[in-house]
Structure 1
Amino acid sequence: MLNSCLFLNASHTMIQYNPKDWIIFIFRFHESDTFRRLIPMMIFIGLYAGGIAYLEIEYWKLADSSHVKNLSLIHTTVGFVLSLLLAYRTNTAYDRWWEGRKAWGGLVNNSRNLALKLSAYLTDDNDRAFFRKIIPAYAAVLSKHLLNEDVSKMLFEGLDLEIDHHKHHPNQVAKRLFQKANALYTTGKISGDQFFIINEELKSFTDVCGVCERIKNTPIPYSYSAFIKKFIFFYVITLPFGFVFSLGYYVIPVVVFIFYVLASLELIAEEIEDPFGTDTNDLPTPKMAANIKKHVEELL
């Protein structure tokens, strides 16, 4: 039996929550909450806004007729453009996260389907034991591959498989899986029709790996991400100049709040655009691999 802890040593766990519990959402600050991460910058923005307010009100004593007051008109126009950019940025990041989740959902279903079919086809205990170990092993290896973690030799205990750490790990497991299925056909343990039926599940393992690698290895273009960050920064630091005339020193909490909203959207997009990391909002691939192991062992 494979050591269960190899499938459960997840370096992160997704946050479990009740989406209807508003009170906890509002007053609880989790370690991944954007408020915690933005506190230093919010303090800086607050001090900066207070400094601009002091200069305009106490030092320069700008009159309401000053042209600086008209800067707020620019923010109204530019703010609309910024909101569109952030909406597109967040939606794009979530699409990547959801595509990764669908890929792993497909891996879970195909692993079950393959185990279910093999449980009906195979009568030899050694063959059943081989697939009982190697099907979950593929999911565990893929999870470690996406997390850039080393694969333990204990993961393949009882399998005729040696992993070359200089080559693609999931492909080596998929190759051995297909070789074994082909051997079953050539030795007459399964028919040609049965081999054809399980071929779709065998092929899907590599398809899932390709989707996950495409998401992980193709980040959002640097120029686009850098532009949004600069846009947010310069938008926020110019806010106090025009709003001081109508808000006075109340411009400090207002500007800090606007910065918090805009920067939080960018931080959320950054975190979920790569769903195969160790952040609390990333996909719990080790846990899903452990579920695959449990279900396959029940079927085989």
Structure 2
Amino acid sequence: MVQYNPKDWITFIFRFHKSDTFRQLIPMMITIGIYSYVVAYLEIEYWQLSEQSHVKNITIMHGMLGFVISLLLVFRTNTAYDRWWEGRKHWGALVNNSRNLAIKLSVILKEEQDKSFFKRIIPAYASVLQKHLSDEDTAKMLFDGIDLEIDHHKHRPNQVAKILFRKIHELHLNGTISGDQLIIINNEIQSFTDICGACERIKNTPIPYSYSSFIKKFIFFYIMTLPFGYVFNLGYYVIPVVVFIFYVLASLELIAEEIEDPFGNDANDLPTEKLASNIKKHVEEIL
């Protein structure tokens, strides 16, 4: 995730980050510029269309469709940001619930061996979930005193959650944890799987294909028809104008594509690895 100062306007304006859409769109912007030049040359030099040509009235269509495309892009961006923010809220809940579970266990448990187990297994869930959501292969994880066997052909976070609850159940059976205490810590244990399921829902349910495809086609044909009408008013200046309009519209779509899956490795995705590291740090401090 990109760290920045939101009040530093100068840095925003003149600094280009590797995640900036400008870098990604340069090839298409050059192509659009060449296309606009060809259209302008044909209309001005080759066909020599007059001001009375009906082609000039194409701008009426752009005026009517401009409002529609702006609504579509606003809805698209808001939908993608909602997915990003929902993912952040779920990981924030995972951080808080891991702390709460560690705090409760630090008071309930008396044996140092039991505390040591949970000091490693609670952060292990966050680490495995982070790798699970980013599609990374989780290697066999070895902790001091714990042999955590991960079967890569099965749901990995569920395996860690099962190990966690099995240990809680054993402590309940031998009387270390009472029935009332088990009820107290049950919500945090259950929330781990709930958070995992919510994050999987975000990751595995993309924007419907027809909707995403329609927006891209709409932007493409909108930009491709811009030079025909505006050449009469702008002449060859239509080239930078059309390129800039394409940059703005396409950038909004690229930004939405990037943040709609917040668990990847893009520059603006959630710092899940850092959050998992913070959980490990906090749990070790508590236990």
**TM bucket by the smaller chain?**
over 0.9
- Counterpart of 2:100 in structure 1 is 113
Answering whether residue 68 of structure 2 is matched by residue 81 of structure 1, we say yes
Where do 1:110-189 residues align within 5 Å?
Answer: 110-189=97-176
Decide whether the 8 Å contact of 1:137 with 1:156 is kept in 2: no
- Counterpart of 2:10 in structure 1 is 23
Answering whether residue 38 of structure 2 is matched by residue 54 of structure 1, we say no
Paired with 1:158 and 1:293, the residues of 2 have a C-alpha distance of 16
1:158, distance to aligned residue in structure 2 (A): 2.5
Paired with 1:92 and 1:156, the residues of 2 have a C-alpha distance of 40
- Counterpart of 1:208 in structure 2 is 195
The change in CA–CA distance for 1:101 and 1:268 in structure 2 (over 3 A counts) is: same
1:94-153 deviations in whole A, cap 9, x for unaligned?
000000000000000000000000000000011000000000000000001011111122
- Counterpart of 2:83 in structure 1 is 96
Paired with 1:160 and 1:278, the residues of 2 have a C-alpha distance of 29
1:15-55 deviations in whole A, cap 9, x for unaligned?
11000111111111111100010011001101111111111
Stretches of structure 2 lacking an aligned partner (at least 5 in a row): none
- Counterpart of 2:216 in structure 1 is 229
Secondary structure of 1:223's partner? helix
The change in CA–CA distance for 1:157 and 1:132 in structure 2 (over 3 A counts) is: same
1:160, distance to aligned residue in structure 2 (A): 4.2
Paired AA for residue 153 in structure 1 = K
Paired with 2:46 and 2:96, the residues of 1 have a C-alpha distance of 68
Secondary structure of 1:63's partner? coil
Where does structure 1 differ by over 2 angstroms across 4 or more consecutive aligned residues? 154-158
Paired with 2:157 and 2:202, the residues of 1 have a C-alpha distance of 16
Decide whether the 8 Å contact of 2:129 with 2:157 is kept in 1: yes
Paired with 2:97 and 2:142, the residues of 1 have a C-alpha distance of 21
Paired AA for residue 293 in structure 1 = K
Decide whether the 8 Å contact of 1:271 with 1:282 is kept in 2: yes
Decide whether the 8 Å contact of 2:141 with 2:148 is kept in 1: no
Paired AA for residue 159 in structure 1 = I
Paired AA for residue 267 in structure 1 = L
- Counterpart of 1:244 in structure 2 is 231
- Counterpart of 1:10 in structure 2 is none
Secondary structure of 2:189's partner? helix
Decide whether the 8 Å contact of 2:58 with 2:229 is kept in 1: yes
Percent sequence identity over matched residues?
75
- Counterpart of 2:185 in structure 1 is 198
Stretches of structure 1 lacking an aligned partner (at least 5 in a row): 1-13
Decide whether the 8 Å contact of 2:121 with 2:160 is kept in 1: yes
Decide whether the 8 Å contact of 2:141 with 2:147 is kept in 1: no
Paired AA for residue 106 in structure 1 = A
Decide whether the 8 Å contact of 1:53 with 1:249 is kept in 2: yes
TM-score where L is the length of structure 1: 0.94
Paired with 1:191 and 1:158, the residues of 2 have a C-alpha distance of 25
Paired AA for residue 34 in structure 1 = T
The alignment yields a C-alpha RMSD, in angstroms, of 0.8
Secondary structure of 2:65's partner? helix
Paired with 2:151 and 2:237, the residues of 1 have a C-alpha distance of 63
- Counterpart of 1:37 in structure 2 is 24
Paired AA for residue 84 in structure 2 = W
- Counterpart of 1:298 in structure 2 is 285
Paired AA for residue 187 in structure 2 = E
Paired AA for residue 299 in structure 1 = I
